[in-house]
Structure 1
């Protein structure tokens, strides 16, 4: 049987034995760094040099930014100190966030007096509005606690004001707390419990001259004073008179070296300890502590509070 061959016969478009010029790359574009398309480029050295130059410029910029921020913080400390001495309020800068609100949950058995002192200091820096509410867990509230904030901090209506609210409620351990929203995606609220930690939060956010702006060593001394004087006195306020006496004895030694607990300036440690001592005058027996109490009693920030 004879072969039938192919069904269709199509002539080739190019000679089978001829040579064809195949492309060396998918798209032909002028090379950015010279040389033929598809050829290896020896650009690693140039790329490394460019990255090093960029890193050096970025590091220099960061250093300048850190220096500027440090200068601004030092200037802010000086301005705040001057405003406090002259008893004047500094108007807020335009563009300040207007939705700032801090809600303090407090027990009538342990009023957050130290927070009140911080609020007085804060009122010299920016407008502050206040409010007091009674939680359903309490049946009634004394007139003094109802006026806990309103009688000592002027309510200044402003779009840029910080709003501070105290909610009086029944709390198992009588320890005040605030809820703070963390930053970032999926941010949740975290609980800041205890006047010492609320104080640290407020100082870091608004009143750094009473805490971290005093310097690294002073900050360590403030934390040590809080741990050695305030916390033992607070924990033993109803149980152990020996711990009270030991804490006040150490405070008396510290006040023999300096005018205040952590140096020559009022700090968060002074406000915290004074919030306890001012309500229990019977504890004040040592000479240095007595002189310290007199100094703070004449300070407008720590003026007596009717409770």
Structure 2
């Protein structure tokens, strides 16, 4: 019985300590890759990567969004950066709190050095608002941004206002009226913030106002993907060509492991298949 009890405690300690050691090792790898990017580009690298990660030895998923803690951390990193040192922000997020996103955007706009935002996959909602503060947005060819129209609870603010406009006031409940009032204020505030951020980055007001209207008016669903070409057509300073090191860094932020992966492939670059010119057959 003593041996069984000892084995149980050894297994328990192993189950507890293994995830801790793995996490520390993963964090060390991330820091090394961040240093490598900084040395190569001569910048301060800040990452805001929101993915579901497992916590504790139970493997519980933790969903991440832009929150006040993120804003505090980014603002602290910007304060520690010399005014003339460029900043590279690697952004991967579904969005989050408007307050936190606005704080980060305003801080990036005030930084005197060049600000580059890298979007390897997506930066939606509040992530797009932050990207608007960059001097240059570098996206993967398949990456997307999104609208920044505010959401009141689970409803788009623009849709709440449409209900109030099109439905008799006597048939609208008090809660919807309150939500619509909050939504109207939120739309004005977010639109004003977008114009302020774009104008501070040198965009003329005659261009900033239509762009702010397009992103905040609710003409799209909140998860509408704004791809590279559309972002350029809107007037955003978008380019492609993300450094390979950024993709390598993203690989160090794995999703929560599952029993059966839904996507599988051999993680090696493939050469295009060669064909025999005379017979049209593939060469081995």
TM-score, length-scaled by structure 1: 0.25
The structure, 1 or 2, with the larger RCO (C-alpha pairs under 8 Å, 6+ apart) is 2
TM-score, length-scaled by structure 2: 0.26
Q: Which has the larger radius of gyration?
A: 1
